[in-house]
Structure 1
């Protein structure tokens, strides 16, 4: 499923569902009404701290093709890459924690505050097809989100085969058999996972807010339409502020 009504999301997106009129069409689609947290990707660590947002710098994601996948890494690692691409390279991933949860994640390509934001789309998704309070995003059913290059999925398959061979069984669980020991080091919140040692291509895996749900991803671009950042909002905060839970005050 590639689109979802905003009322299905906890926290922020539940709160803002009423902001988008049922008559909204593509030309009127405003991502600021879908997420009030986009400033998280541009504020300094000091400013975020003042807003009770804890920052985790995960390290660099290796994009071998520049075609990016955002998904639940356990149930949707084969999800299509976004239509928009970036130059291959290594790019830093940052996580934003509030109320003990990972509230958002960003993948930064260049410095600067975005001049505009757009909803990230995969092939065959069309903003004009959205009705009422619908939006595009990705489903989470295992409590985790991720960023990775589309070329990394074959490495995950290779790691799965390695585990099957080691266990002499086709019955494996990628989380229990592979990810759990790695992510436990970071209090089960995140890990920069390398499926196959010695091979270029890793996966930024992180806790998805309050867990399972359906979450939007945004491109932040400069005035020349150059991507500066990719941002996932897990609906934990409002107005890029961790001092008050959504709905308070």
Structure 2
């Protein structure tokens, strides 16, 4: 419990820092300034390779309700789902790797190049309230990001209880006691994790770029406003190009 309280305090500090405007001279959110990497989802594997980017096709995430949680699964085990939903189903996740790190992660719902993009928000968040330089996103405190269905959160809790039952006299750490074995199979970079064997609902877990920080997610929409893809940008590359490492701000 003490560890969770300390972690929550760090997350509040992180979220507050992300909401401090870089510039207060202009109001309004500009999606074009939020990310320069939207083109990633429209490039073929060969085109990505030509830009020194490696595509990792993880497999499908099972969305049992269509309510998507994008978060650090260890730091925020109870984060709300995004306000926009999709039809329940199984959807492929692709990671984009550059400089030995996960630069971005996408989940694809339908084929096609997005006509426009919008910032992913939680219920109650309003993009119109953002000032220049501000953005909504999720804080990372364990070096990981993920995509999963909101229902899968209960399965993580169930798996944690199982692990605790096996070690009744010790504190259970979900990373060390459960998740690490899956991640180790892919050098710690990613895993398609199933919390409870035999139950539908899995988690695409991946390394969050340079580690801890605050990261936005974006919906790529078609002309009619239908969701085609969800993208998390970890700020490792610029302009969907891994041939030149961006300068740290």
TM-score (norm 2): 0.90
**Equivalent residues of 1:80, 1:150 under 8 A apart:** yes
Match of 1:63 in 2: 63
Give how far 1:4 is off: 5.0
**Equivalent residues of 2:62, 2:90 under 8 A apart:** yes
CA separation in 2, counterparts of 1:206 and 1:149?
A: 16
Please give the secondary structure, in 1, of the residue aligned with 2:161.
Answer: helix
Q: 2:42 matched to 1:23?
A: no
Distance 1:68 1:101, change over 3 A: same
**Equivalent residues of 1:149, 1:201 under 8 A apart:** yes
Q: CA RMSD in A?
A: 1.8
Match of 1:186 in 2: 186
CA separation in 1, counterparts of 2:164 and 2:18?
A: 39
Segments of structure 1 that go 5 or more residues without pairing to the other structure are 9-16
Q: 2:164 matched to 1:161?
A: no
**Equivalent residues of 1:61, 1:90 under 8 A apart:** yes
Match of 1:111 in 2: 111
Please give the secondary structure, in 2, of the residue aligned with 1:136.
Answer: coil
Match of 1:81 in 2: 81
Distance 1:86 1:4, change over 3 A: farther
Distance 1:22 1:203, change over 3 A: farther
Match of 2:124 in 1: 124
CA separation in 1, counterparts of 2:116 and 2:16?
A: 22
CA separation in 2, counterparts of 1:97 and 1:22?
A: 35
Q: 2:228 matched to 1:228?
A: yes
Residue by residue, what CA displacement relative to the aligned partner does 1:167-189 show, whole Å, maximum 9, x if unpaired? 12361000000011110000100
CA separation in 1, counterparts of 2:25 and 2:158?
A: 46
**Equivalent residues of 1:4, 1:134 under 8 A apart:** no
**Equivalent residues of 1:5, 1:133 under 8 A apart:** no
Please give the secondary structure, in 2, of the residue aligned with 1:59.
Answer: strand
Give how far 1:193 is off: 0.3
TM-score (norm 1): 0.90
Q: 2:246 matched to 1:243?
A: no
CA separation in 1, counterparts of 2:108 and 2:184?
A: 25
Q: 2:200 matched to 1:200?
A: yes
Please give the secondary structure, in 2, of the residue aligned with 1:245.
Answer: coil
Please give the secondary structure, in 2, of the residue aligned with 1:105.
Answer: strand
CA separation in 2, counterparts of 1:30 and 1:150?
A: 29
CA separation in 2, counterparts of 1:182 and 1:108?
A: 23
Match of 1:14 in 2: none
Distance 1:37 1:3, change over 3 A: farther
CA separation in 2, counterparts of 1:230 and 1:4?
A: 24
CA separation in 1, counterparts of 2:170 and 2:152?
A: 21
CA separation in 2, counterparts of 1:22 and 1:201?
A: 45
Give how far 1:7 is off: 8.3
Segments of structure 2 that go 5 or more residues without pairing to the other structure are 1-11
Residue by residue, what CA displacement relative to the aligned partner does 1:61-105 show, whole Å, maximum 9, x if unpaired? 000000000000101121000110000000000000001110000
